[in-house]
Structure 1
């Protein structure tokens, strides 16, 4: 049975009207009393009615902005689906969610979108950041000066004032890839890394995790080169051709982001698709095809839909219920797939 305001009032030793003012932030109540009432309501499992929540939303004008970068990539299209699901949920209660889609790495466009959201009275922002000092400063400014909470997702800028991060623990994902490479190579040989955008914090972290674990735990493996495809399949294919020319003894390739199609097609064309050890990321249709064929040995996955959905809901809960996120780092699971457990 649903918990009523009267039951909360009796448990708190106050009137029903005081409970109503506390739970709906209507003022005329001491802060310590308001906090005690909210705590008791949470402990009792109180849930406002849908109609009541919609009415409160209309009064508060909760507006959340979502800014996505790297939108030309298939993975971010999957993240967008999660954002759209959260948008539908929030707007069913009378809130507003505005989405900005940016291709590539464009911190200036991110900051312009942030400013537009601020000027229009939006009171929470979720964004996928890139490595940029001005963007770091802007995130801090929005939190400290404007009181607008920022949630980062998919990639993180840890030493900022952002509220929390939702996404993969990319450093651990990189370490996981290093362990898998050790298993395949027997702990010896030359390997190379193909990354995507230079300024993508998530890819930087995967790369660091991989190189750190190799150096600390597997000294018999030599990382001979690191190149960037900028999420371009043609560039990725040319990198592979150059790797094989420069390093004829190369035994493994770790792909931290996109470029899988270019890498695998080139390995197949050069007859290296069954002998080269390849580890890539994300359970995308193209990647799963190469996993099934055996050109990719391992795929390391993350939950794209959660990365899109959770940041919006975290901001909604903060703005509507004053419920802070439970953890600063809300990591999605690191999942490993081979052609034998594709599902």
Structure 2
């Protein structure tokens, strides 16, 4: 068979299988004079590793889009050291004035940042929320878990861990003003109402640092030794090793997230289930959503872009932990 026939057959096969023998880049709608596409990323705090993972995801997405678009895509990371909604609002204003083309934010307090989001949108800068939403703002999309469903699943796993005997359950809830955490608490209470053998002692709030979270749990447990389980809508205390001294299984723990520091808790049986969020994807997906809108004018199919929860137990903790080698690498 001569070369011409071979090439012809290859082209025919490509057509049959729906492949473009010479794939062409889809033309974008960015101004030809634009040299760099700058996007802002505002997380809740630099002290929380889940947001470091989100930053890595955003940077990786930016690199991928740089190749696709043919111009550099850069991520401008503006995040307070610890949670501070007012600083987040200030960063929104700064980024908008400094000419970024889009902004992604995880809101510490929706009420505090909504006006700043709306002012950015009024300047023609699209905003996407991730992890924690500002539902009443003019952001065009939210990417994150369904927080009500997250709370329900946490309490369902707590009830399962307690078994038929049930018992008193404490809910640990971090920042009282965070809209995502409020919804998780609501979901947990809703699920608890379905279990006659479960009684919620109270909802306990604290500053969202590992040390404050662990201190709060120890303080409450000491004052209320009848508490049989902790339903944690965030994993803050497990970012430290403070509670690893607890006798495995005596007090049940079900928590959100499955960071490297949390995995020993399920491996040793101190915690029964961790509900992992794909923190890396918070950043990656946010950048994808922004670039799709800015460069191609594409809107998401749904303004609520729901992310999955991944149950992590002693059985799959080691395998899941491999993700963090990528997610927490140094930038």
TM tier relative to shorter chain: 0.7 to 0.9
Quote the residue 2:3 is aligned against: none
Q: Tell me which of 139, 142, 152 is aligned to 1:175.
A: 152
Q: Is 1:186 equivalent to 2:163 in the alignment?
A: yes
State the secondary structure of the residue aligned to 1:147: coil
Q: Is 1:235 equivalent to 2:217 in the alignment?
A: no
* Cα distance between partner residues in 2 of 1:327 and 1:110: 26
Q: Tell me which of 258, 262, 272 is aligned to 1:297.
A: 272
Instruction: Kindly state the Cα deviation for residue 108 of structure 1 after the two structures are TM-superposed.
Output: 2.2
Greater relative contact order (Cα 8 A, min sep 6): structure 1 or 2? 2
* Cα distance between partner residues in 2 of 1:194 and 1:162: 29
Q: Which moved more, 1:93-102 or 1:321-330?
A: 93-102
> In 1, are the aligned partners of 2:154 and 2:233 still within 8 Å (CA)?
no
Higher Rg = 1
Instruction: Kindly state the Cα deviation for residue 111 of structure 1 after the two structures are TM-superposed.
Output: 2.0
Alignment of 1:1-343 (within 5 A): 48-49=24-25, 58-60=32-34, 62-92=37-67, 93-94=70-71, 95-143=73-121, 145-186=122-163, 188-215=166-193, 217-261=194-238, 265-266=242-243, 268-269=244-245, 271-342=246-317, 343=319
> In 1, are the aligned partners of 2:40 and 2:102 still within 8 Å (CA)?
yes
> In 1, are the aligned partners of 2:57 and 2:284 still within 8 Å (CA)?
yes
> In 2, are the aligned partners of 1:198 and 1:230 still within 8 Å (CA)?
no
* Alignment RMSD: 2.5
Any unmatched runs of 5+ in structure 2? 1-19, 320-331
TM-score, scaled to structure 2: 0.80
> In 1, are the aligned partners of 2:210 and 2:236 still within 8 Å (CA)?
yes
TM-score, scaled to structure 1: 0.77
Any unmatched runs of 5+ in structure 1? 1-43
Structure 1 pair 263/310, CA: closer, same or farther in 2 (3 Å)?
A: closer
Q: Structure 1: which 4+ aligned runs deviate by more than 4 Å? A: 55-58
